[in-house]
Amino acid sequence: MTLEDQHTDRKSLRTISGKSADWEALAKDCVCFANSAGGRLLIGIEDGEALPPAGQIVPPELLDRLRKRIGELTVNVQALPSLQCAPNGGEFIELVIERSPSVASTRDGRYFLRVGDTCQPVLGDDVLRLANERPGRPWEAMDSGVPRSAADADKLARFVQGIRASDRVKDAVKEKSADELLTHYGLALGNTLTRLGVLLLGTTADRRALGTAPLVQAIKYDERGQKINKWVWDDCALSPVELVDAIWREVPDFRESYEVAEGLYRRSVPAYDEKVVRELLVNALVHRPYTQQGDIYLNLHPERLEVVNPGRLPLGVTPRNILHASRRRNEALARIFHDLGLMEREGTGFDLMYDRLLSHGRPAPVPEEGADWVKVTIQRRIAKPEVMRLVMEADERFQLTQRERITLGVLAQTEGMTAREFGALLETDGADELAVWLGRLQAMALVQSAGRTQGMRYFVDPSLLRGADLKLPTTLLRIEPHRLMELVREDLRRYPRSKIGEISDRIGSELNRSQLKRALAELVSLSVVVMEGERNGARYRLAVEK
C-alpha cells in the first residue's frame, strides 16, 4: 500500500466508530476527492502506518452505516466501501470515491478540494471557478468526430515507438497493438478520436479545427525592450509532444554559452539549462486550459527568460505553494507526457527546476499569476559562481538529496535566513517540516545556525564559498568500509603525506579512529596507499600520486 498522496488518505477506525466518531471530517475528505480526480480512503489504518493493527476486526455493520452517513452528509459524492484484509491479518475499509461530474459539497454547503496530500477549502469566487473548471466530461475525453483511421500515420508510429521504448511503461501495455494503445491512453473512443487524440495524433487541419491547439511565439528583446527577433509555431502542424523538441532546437539562444571565472581558470556554462527550459515548456503545454484560447509566449530578454501561459494555475495551486501543491488540469495528457519520459512524475517538475537552478548558482524560478495568465521567470546568468562550486563539490562528496541541494543553494545565495523566512519561502509548517529540507546539512557543517525558535538564523559559512578547495567534514558514523576507503583515497589525493589525525579531522573527527586505522591498513595492504614513518609520526600518501 502507498503512503498518502493526491489519491490516497488514511483514517483511524475511530473516525467512524465509538464516541470519537467524526463524520463531518470524513464527509469533508470525501468531498475533497470527489472535486479532485477521485481517490480512496483507507479507514482502519493510522497515519504514517502501512498496515492496520494486526488482528483488527471491522464490524460488518460499519460498511452500511458508512454508506448511509456519506449519502446524508454530502452532495454529488459517490463512495463505495469494501472490506479488505491486510497481509498481517488486520481488517480495514477501502472507501473508493469517484470523481464527481459536477461540483461536490457537504450537505451544509461547504466546498473542498484535494491538493497534493492536503484537503483545502474552496471559498468565495473560487467556488464559481471550480464549477467552470469541472465540465461534466473532461475536454480530453470529448468526441472530436474524427475517425480513428484519420490519425496521422507518422505521428501514430512515433507515439507507439515511444511508448514501447519507455522504461516507465509496463510490459503488458507495451504489448498492446497500436489500436489498443489509442483506447488505453484515451486517444480514441469507439470509432472516433477524442479531442486529446486529435491534439496529439490528428492531421494539421483537424488539429486547427479544435480551436484551442497551442500556438507558441518566442520573441527576443534587446536591452531597451525593443523586439529584435521572433519565432512562431502557429500553423498547428506539430503536436504538443513535438513542439517541445522543435522550440528547443529552433531557438538559437537556448544553446548559447558564456564563461565563468573559477580561480585561475574559466569555465564555459550554458546560458540556459536544457532540462529547466524543457520542463518549463512541458508545464506550459500540459497544464494550460485547453478550453481557453491564447498563445504561449517565450520572452527572451538579455538577462532572463519569461514563459507566459494563458489561463490561471489549477485551483488550489498558488505561486507560493507551487513547490508542494500537486494538481493536474489535464490528467490524460500529463500521463502520456510522463510515460514518454518528457516530464517528471506528478508534483516534481518545479522541484527539478529549483534544484537545477539553485545548485548552479542561479536564482530560483519566479512564478507569477495574473487575471488570465501565468508567468515563470528564470535568469540567464549565474549570479554566484562560488555557489555552483560549493554545491557541486558538496554533492560529489556527500551525495546530497534534492531537497538538501535546494536548501544549500538558497542559503548560499543569501546572507542567511531566519526559520520564519525560510519556512515562508518553502511554505513549510513548523520545525519538523523545515528539518526535512535541512536534512544532513547542519550535521555536515555545510549549514550553520544561530539563535532560537523562529528567530533562529540559518546560513552558510562564507569561508566555504571563498575556499578554492573545500575541506568539508562528513558525519557518517556507520559508514560502509568500501565507502570509507574511497573517502580516504579522495582525501589523500587532495592532501598527500597526511597524518591519521589530519585525515580524521577532515573526514570526520566523530568517526571511530579504529575504523579509520583499519581502512588505512587495508589500503596499505592493497598497495593503494603508502605509509611513511612509524607510529605517531606515520604519514600516508597514494601509491601513485596524480
Q: Which CATH number characterizes residue 412's domain?
A: 1.10.10.10
Assigned domain for 242 exists:
no
Grid cell locating 282: 512541458
The whole domain housing 107 covers: 8-132
What pLDDT does residue 477 have?
44
**Judgement on whether residues 183 and 77 belong to the same structural domain of the protein:** no
**Helix or strand (DSSP H, E) at 383:** none
Q: Is 300 in the same domain as 372?
A: yes
Q: Would you say residue 216 lies in a domain?
A: no
Q: Are residues 88 and 188 in the same domain?
A: no
Residue 288 CA: distances (Å) to CA of 133, 240, 310, 365, 375: 12, 11, 7, 18, 12
**Residues 312-316: contacts with CB within 8 Å, 24+ apart?**
312/369, 312/370, 312/371, 312/372, 312/373, 312/374, 313/287, 313/369, 313/374, 314/133, 314/287, 315/113, 315/122, 315/126, 315/129, 315/130, 315/133, 316/113, 316/115, 316/120, 316/122
The answer on 189 and 85 residing in a single domain is: no
Cα Rg of the chain (Å, integer): 28
The answer to whether residues 104 and 65 belong to one domain is: yes
What is the distance in angstroms between the CA of the first residue and the CA of the last residue of the chain?
Answer: 51
Q: Last residue of a domain, which of 132, 161, 194?
A: 132
Q: Is residue 232 part of a domain?
A: no
3-state helix, strand, coil in the chain (%, to 5): 40, 20, 40
State CA 50 to chain mean position distance: 23
pLDDT at 175: 95
Does one domain contain both 105 and 25?
yes
Q: Which pLDDT value is given to residue 473? A: 44
pLDDT of res. 346: 58
Q: Is the dihedral of CA 343, 282, 436, 14 positive or negative?
A: negative
Using the 3D structure, point to which of 158, 185, 210 is the last residue of a domain: 210
**pLDDT given for residue 262 in this prediction:** 63
Whether 101 maps to a domain, the answer reads: yes
Instruction: Per-residue pLDDT tens, the chain, 546 aa: give them.
Output: 345 677 899 999 888 888 888 999 999 999 999 998 889 999 999 877 888 999 899 998 999 999 999 999 999 999 999 999 999 999 999 999 998 888 999 999 999 998 877 888 998 888 888 887 776 678 899 999 999 999 999 999 999 999 999 999 999 999 999 999 999 999 999 999 999 999 999 999 999 999 999 999 999 999 999 999 999 999 999 999 999 999 999 999 998 988 877 655 677 889 999 999 999 999 999 988 898 889 999 999 999 999 999 988 888 788 888 877 767 788 899 999 999 999 876 556 788 898 899 888 888 899 999 988 999 999 998 877 888 888 888 888 888 888 899 999 989 888 788 888 888 877 776 677 788 888 888 888 889 888 777 678 898 877 777 653 444 444 444 456 777 788 888 888 888 899 988 888 777 655 667 778 888 988 998 888 999 988 778 999 998 754
Domain boundary among 441, 466, 491: 466
* Domains identified in the chain, total number: 5
Q: What is the DSSP string of 307-363?
A: EEEESPPPTT--TTTTTT----SSHHHHHHHHHTTSSPSTT-HHHHHHHHHHTTTPP
Q: Give CA–CA dist 402/484, Å, rounded.
A: 23
pLDDT of residue 203: 96
Same domain? 13 vs 128: yes
Nearest CA to 281 out of 304, 312, 306 is that of 306
Does residue 193 lie within any of the structural domains? yes
Say how many C-beta atoms besides its own lie within 10 A of residue 397's C-beta. Answer: 18
- 500 with 432, same domain: the answer is no
State the angle between helix axes of 240-250 and 274-286 in degrees (0 to 180), rounded to the nearest 10.
150
Q: Are 287 and 328 in contact (CB under 8 A)?
A: yes
Taking a C-beta distance cutoff of 8 angstroms, is the pair 255, 300 a contact?
no
Sign of CA dihedral 54, 60, 64, 69: negative
> How far is it, in rounded angstroms, from Cα 353 to Cα 402?
11
Answer yes or no: do 179 and 279 share one domain. no
Q: Does residue 269 lie in a domain region?
A: yes
What's residue 1's pLDDT? Answer: 38
Q: Judge if 194 and 300 occupy the same domain.
A: no
**322 and 272 assigned to the same domain:** yes
Residues 270 and 370 in one domain: yes
Domain assignment present for residue 246? The answer is no
Q: How far is the C-alpha of 388 from the C-alpha of 257, rounded, in Å?
A: 16
Would 75 be classed as within a structural domain? yes
